[in-house]
């Protein structure tokens, strides 16, 4: 396994990490991701640790805490071998104290997560969403207190806009508080918006990317083909409305190129899609999910080799989209690009 430094921190993380959203799955969304019980979860964790996949990502909102509980049980007796990344901030109920990142909510959420995970510290806590109702300074001051108390080792965010992340980093710098080192983002061949603003910010400010849904919400598995119905067992029948919008023709064009490269390399479509991400700037770890052992082992085949420059260029070209304003002039006009060239 390859290990990479997470942003401007000293934390080394594996290039592939495991997303535990399939653990204990329940509810209208997570039950379709996967329903791994304690025994199956422990087996998947066994495989991960044997392969050097030491970072496990979860969240309090995943199946109302069940994912954290099952992950904690699977790591019992070997907590020291793993890095736990969890997230908080999204609503866990309808009450005013059950959502957001205020001081009481963060303190309560961290204590509850520690209890479910069966541990006394979290390696990486990320805010699952930006809370516009809570002063940024209140959130950051509380997180710093939790780091100093030893309950958190590193902090990060997920699904933030560029200005939200930059404002937070600036306040941390000015007050000497613990700084965000990670941004968990949606990024895939089907969704490259991350490159326009958040990737340059990450490079400039030392914020590493942890990539969620690297297969485009399950669309880059190799099972979706032009002119064919959605496979009967696809989770997209029930989850498509929760995920990012996708233009079908663009999807099929990308899959066509992935199929060509699969023929050339002997690798599978998802392995190629994951390997493309591993070559991108700022990407510290790509979070892979798996409903079962077969899927996990296939996804692990994304490392240990690299696409060549020509194959990367073909994937770049077929998946390219014009950025929205204010970034599109920097991609379309030489004068703009001369002053601030795109990262990729």
DSSP for 153-208, please give it.
EEEEEES--HHHHHHHHHHHHHHT---EEEEEEE-BTTB-GGGTTHHHHHHHHT-E
| pLDDT at 42 (0 to 100) | 94
Is 230 within 8 Å of 224 (Cβ atoms)? yes
- Is there a domain that residue 161 lies in? yes
Per residue in 145-169, pLDDT (tens digit) is 999 999 999 999 999 999 999 999 9
Mean pLDDT, range 305-311, rounded to an integer: 98
Residue 64: give the domain boundaries.
3-245+273-307
Structural element, H or E, at residue 335:
helix 334-339
Per residue in 266-277, pLDDT (tens digit) is 999 999 999 999
Rg, C-alpha atoms of the chain: 20
180 as an active site residue: the answer is no
- Is there a domain that residue 315 lies in? no
Angstrom CA distances, 172 to 101, 108, 144, 181, stand at: 16, 22, 9, 12
83 has a pLDDT exceeding 80: yes
Q: What is the DSSP letter of 282?
A: T
Angle at alpha carbon of residue 8, lines to 163 and 155, rounded to 5°: 65
Backbone angles phi, psi at 222, to 5 degrees: 90, 0
244 has a pLDDT exceeding 90: no
287 has a pLDDT exceeding 70: yes
- Is there a domain that residue 116 lies in? yes
Mean pLDDT, range 272-286, rounded to an integer: 98
- Is there a domain that residue 138 lies in? yes
- Report residue 15 as tokens: 């290039």
213 Rama sector, left if φ>0, alpha if ψ -120 to 50, beta otherwise? left
| pLDDT at 55 (0 to 100) | 98
8 has a pLDDT exceeding 60: yes
- Is there a domain that residue 320 lies in? no
- Rounded mean pLDDT of the chain? 93
Mean pLDDT, range 15-27, rounded to an integer: 86
Structural domain total, the chain: 1
Mean pLDDT, range 316-342, rounded to an integer: 96
- Is there a domain that residue 117 lies in? yes
Per residue in 30-76, pLDDT (tens digit) is 544 556 788 999 999 999 999 999 999 999 999 999 999 999 999 99
Return d(Cα 100, Cα 86) in angstroms, integer. 15
| pLDDT at 224 (0 to 100) | 75
| pLDDT at 26 (0 to 100) | 60
- Is there a domain that residue 336 lies in? no
pTM of the model: 0.94
Other beta carbons within 10 Å of 10: 8
323 has a pLDDT exceeding 90: yes
| pLDDT at 96 (0 to 100) | 86
In the set 3, 62, 186, 194, the catalytic residue is 62
For residue 13, the SS3 value is strand
- Is there a domain that residue 187 lies in? yes
pLDDT-derived band of residue 28, with 50, 70 and 90 as boundaries?
A: low
Provide the CATH number for the domain around residue 288: 3.20.20.100
């Amino acid at each position: 396994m390859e290990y990479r430094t997470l942003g401007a921190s000293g934390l080394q993380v594996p290039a592939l990490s495991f997303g535990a959203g399939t653990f204990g799955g329940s509810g209208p969304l997570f039950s379709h991701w996967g329903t791994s019980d304690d025994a199956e979860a422990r087996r998947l964790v066994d495989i991960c640790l044997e392969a050097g996949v030491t970072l496990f990502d979860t969240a309090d909102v995943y199946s109302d805490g069940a994912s954290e509980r099952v992950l904690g049980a699977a790591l019992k007796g070997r907590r020291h071998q793993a890095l736990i990344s969890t997230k908080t901030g999204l609503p866990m109920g309808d009450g005013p104290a059950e959502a957001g990142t205020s001081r009481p909510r963060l303190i309560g959420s961290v204590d509850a997560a520690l209890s479910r995970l069966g541990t006394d510290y979290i390696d990486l806590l990320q805010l699952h969403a930006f809370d516009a109702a809570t002063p940024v300074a209140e959130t950051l001051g509380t997180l710093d207190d939790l780091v100093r108390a030893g309950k958190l080792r590193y902090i990060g965010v997920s699904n933030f806009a560029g200005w939200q992340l930059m404002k937070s980093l600036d306040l941390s710098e000015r007050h000497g508080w613990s700084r965000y080192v990670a941004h968990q983002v949606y990024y895939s061949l089907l969704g490259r918006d991350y490159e326009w603003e958040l990737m340059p910010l990450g490079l400039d400010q030392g914020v590493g990317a942890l990539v969620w849904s690297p297969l485009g919400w399950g669309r880059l598995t190799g099972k979706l083909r032009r002119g064919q119905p959605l496979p009967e067992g696809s989770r997209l029948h029930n989850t498509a409305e929760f995920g990012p919008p996708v233009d079908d023709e663009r999807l099929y064009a990308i899959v066509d190129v992935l199929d060509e490269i699969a023929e050339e390399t002997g690798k599978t479509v998802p392995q190629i899609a994951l390997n493309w991400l591993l070559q991108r700037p700022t990407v510290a770890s790509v979070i892979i999910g798996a409903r079962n052992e077969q899927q996990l082992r296939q996804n692990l085949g994304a490392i240990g080799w690299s696409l060549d420059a020509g194959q990367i260029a073909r994937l770049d070209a077929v998946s390219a989209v014009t950025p929205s304003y204010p970034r599109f002039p920097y991609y379309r006009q030489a004068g703009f690009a001369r002053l601030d060239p795109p990262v990729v």
